[in-house]
Structure 1
């Protein structure tokens, strides 16, 4: 390929691709899927996951995956010793690569993709883009519209009127309301979620807590897509403000243990090249690094994009310029060439488009829907409680993946979008400190005291089960964890996925402080059972519980026995 598509005589670079012919060779191809898995990252290593996601679509469709230039096996950009946390390292990398680096951008990459398509003799493609792949899809659609049959977008990267990426700089605090709104218990909390966390941030500035640092709280708001965090964060903030720090400190311990993405590596030069050149930032593209930094710091000070946090709240003492987003990295990366991925004023082709976006994605559903509407024949479908990349998520979102497959197989078959729902919880409204504060069970076969005991026992095992939500549990968690107010939880097979049932052993576990729970709970998908001994001020009780776990309901139906006597009841989410 030419380095510069506007100059056919420019330097030649190598672009790698994978071509997977359809499985059914007895009939003509129903079409070709041009797929990009996002990043921006090497695309060829994702071919197995893309083929798995597409599944039976590839019986009749060919698959084309083109590695974007500068990444993987496509003339990779490499800077030994590159460290994204050091502005001088990024600037030195740009100097090392020289002026040719300005052509490693989305507008040039989609020209490569179209050249591969033409070389293979493929008349038209259906573009399937995931995350940053949706940017390539927008660029391809507006630059090569006559070569498109349809477009499938999973988790849109938005572009603005000038054609550059306009992903907002912000914290995830605005998503607290998204987690809370469906829940009766959470809606009963006083005030708005945004006001509560702002109060907590002010409190922690005045009264620092070594077990709950402000950066940790910021990481929690950015991880609300994890069901455990979405389920608990609003109630944990309210508990902390009410004098009970344990629930929020527990969440902070989990998020602080999360492995961080590598910020050092020669191959990251390709990622920087795309992100910095394809995006709009709060500084001029032609400004020098020092001026860019001044403009960015002024933006942080005046616009407060991380509200309710400030840069001072989030800045780590170990780094002068910590990374809050790629805007901090791109301060040191020159972008002299005008290279909008989408040409300003572009006309979007009249081809079928389906876009999916999760509630907890970095792009809001409103922002994603606005981009989708630029295509004249398009449908945007919200994935309730979904995170990023629902068509390729692990474990599989069967609804989103099925909708993607059906659309690519026949883009004209469906008149509307799918209604996919990933919700596995209702957000909590409180963390009871005592059994007396637990809303009692309502049902038959229980005495007044037993109504409280059953509700508190179910709350204890439900709290333990939430650590292993089958939708998306933190994969870095340990096999043993402390109970909220004491005791020990042990998890056998903590995946909750295809590995079978999760077994949770409870030893003197206290969710409410005055009730100790011992025994075993088993989670087999949504089917949950527990055999427990609960001990409190009223003595000991032998319980057997059966309920449906991971259901987004305000009341949990539970049945079982108390001391061998059967009961049925409902327990409200507290």
Structure 2
């Protein structure tokens, strides 16, 4: 779900009944666009929209959300604005739009008929105030995220409390209001500022949760909505932890099977899962160097680096080379660890928003130990890193109360919404897509049988279906499968 994939995704991403175009309505505070073109998107325009930090406490002031827009190439047949969120929590819609996230030829019809609008949610990237944390306080590579003793559990709690207090002191009151409920109301403010009676939405990964919450609050403001790589926020956290870990393990096993049969794999002919386990074990002993870190990589960092490469099926050859380098005679895990966000400035937003939406369910070391044992059982190779364990272990002791813990967000009264799930998605299991679709009245579910996270970045079939639906408003037939 998280934002570390946006740069890699941008590198990879190099009809039936047409609905009438929806006329714009006047906005009380129209957006003032200015040129901000890039080599990838020369026509890009940028702006800001102001939102309250806390809608119940105006004395806390306002935040300014950064926006980027690609104007419709066929303005005479424009449908309106298509808002995009590339995931996270903490993904930059501004960067996604400005630097080619929607440049695939398969998406050309969207560029023709919509103003493509990306935004940075409150606290993220170019929005201000920005969630700011000391990376060294937030992430300690020596910390045990799987404590089995009271002392280890207390150390985890103390570390997370100190990290949260540091983020709060640097960020201010926005940190306590960086939840998805607040961000969903920000979308409504953006819609009004754009002068649109309705919006279309393309949400990926965490963007599916954000879009679903918006649709539950404002179903009459939705024209079309794609929720791709679906997060089911109603699932109990313990269940979600195990489901996601099993999905990550499935993706790793499928990668290993591909290596076994493909000469394109740098580990072709090896026992890939055994090779992976050996690299992780040596990292746990501190013997796998990472030149980008200037120190040995931890086992968690190795595992997270492999996980990040599993997102895009086209990156599997690069993953094989990176894993081979980490396990070579002179190991260097750089190509794995440089893809982690643990020490980057954006990890603070990922953690802070995550702790609002996915707070720790753990009551003590015994409870956490039981869950850790179950995690190892469902993910015997990849257990050291999965995002929901990263969320919940990192939120154990977090001092800011959660404003949006797991809960149903039923959607009623909206037009048909398209939910896309993958049978072998490493981050968002297919069961989540089924659960989310079941909570949305009239939703259509498209199932992918291929690999990788989200159909937009891995499945030409899914891209075609998503574009057709966004343009026409007619979802694919129930039960559609992309093979």
**Alpha-carbon distance, 1:229 to partner:** 10
Say if 1:17 and 1:44, in contact at 8 Å, map to a contact too: yes
2:454, 2:409 → 1: CA distance? 28
Q: From the superposition, tell whether residues 97 and 225 of structure 1 become closer, same or farther in structure 2 (CA, over 3 Å).
A: closer
* 2:79 match: 30
- 2:465 is paired with a residue of what secondary structure? helix
| Partner residue of 1:278 out of 357, 365, 373 | 357
1:323, 1:177 → 2: CA distance? 19
* 2:63 match: 13
Q: From the superposition, tell whether residues 74 and 163 of structure 1 become closer, same or farther in structure 2 (CA, over 3 Å).
A: farther
Write the mapping of 1:364-513 to structure 2, written as runs, cut at 5 A.
Answer: 364-392=429-457, 397-412=459-474, 414-416=476-478, 419-421=481-483
1:217, 1:3 → 2: CA distance? 37
* 2:401 match: 336
Provide the TM-score with structure 2 as the length reference.
0.64
- Structure with higher RCO (Cα < 8 A, 6+ apart): 2
1:85 counterpart = 2:135 = no
- 1:71 is paired with a residue of what secondary structure? coil
Deviations 1:496-539 (A, max 9, x none): xxxxxxxxxxxxxxxxxxxxxxxxxxxxxxxxxxxxxxxxxxxx
Deviations 1:208-245 (A, max 9, x none): 9989x9869956984666769989x9xxxxxxxxxxxx
**Alpha-carbon distance, 1:95 to partner:** 4.1
2:314, 2:95 → 1: CA distance? 30
| Partner residue of 2:369 out of 270, 273, 298 | 298
Say if 1:159 and 1:165, in contact at 8 Å, map to a contact too: no
Q: From the superposition, tell whether residues 295 and 73 of structure 1 become closer, same or farther in structure 2 (CA, over 3 Å).
A: farther
Q: From the superposition, tell whether residues 228 and 90 of structure 1 become closer, same or farther in structure 2 (CA, over 3 Å).
A: same
Q: From the superposition, tell whether residues 218 and 30 of structure 1 become closer, same or farther in structure 2 (CA, over 3 Å).
A: closer
- 1:68 is paired with a residue of what secondary structure? coil
2:93, 2:238 → 1: CA distance? 22
**Alpha-carbon distance, 1:419 to partner:** 3.9
Q: From the superposition, tell whether residues 151 and 417 of structure 1 become closer, same or farther in structure 2 (CA, over 3 Å).
A: farther
Write the mapping of 1:313-328 to structure 2, written as runs, cut at 5 A.
Answer: 314=384, 325-328=390-393
| Partner residue of 2:177 out of 90, 100, 103 | 103
Worse-superposed segment, 11-20 or 162-171: 162-171
2:210, 2:413 → 1: CA distance? 15
- 2:139 is paired with a residue of what secondary structure? coil
- Comparing both structures, which one devotes a greater share of its residues to strand? 1
2:241, 2:378 → 1: CA distance? 16
* 1:69 match: 122
* 1:60 match: 113
Deviations 1:301-349 (A, max 9, x none): 55345645499x959xxxxxx996232322353232533476x463444
Structure 1 residues not aligned, in runs of 5+: 187-195, 234-245, 285-290, 316-321, 422-574
Q: From the superposition, tell whether residues 17 and 330 of structure 1 become closer, same or farther in structure 2 (CA, over 3 Å).
A: same
**Alpha-carbon distance, 1:141 to partner:** 1.0
Structure 2 residues not aligned, in runs of 5+: 1-50, 141-158, 263-271, 289-297
What is the number of residues matched between the two proteins? 379
**Alpha-carbon distance, 1:177 to partner:** 6.6
Say if 2:72 and 2:111, in contact at 8 Å, map to a contact too: yes
Deviations 1:359-383 (A, max 9, x none): 1332222332222222222222222
Say if 2:235 and 2:406, in contact at 8 Å, map to a contact too: no
State the superposition RMSD in angstroms.
Answer: 4.6
**Alpha-carbon distance, 1:111 to partner:** 0.7
- Comparing both structures, which one devotes a greater share of its residues to helix? 2
Say if 2:70 and 2:115, in contact at 8 Å, map to a contact too: yes
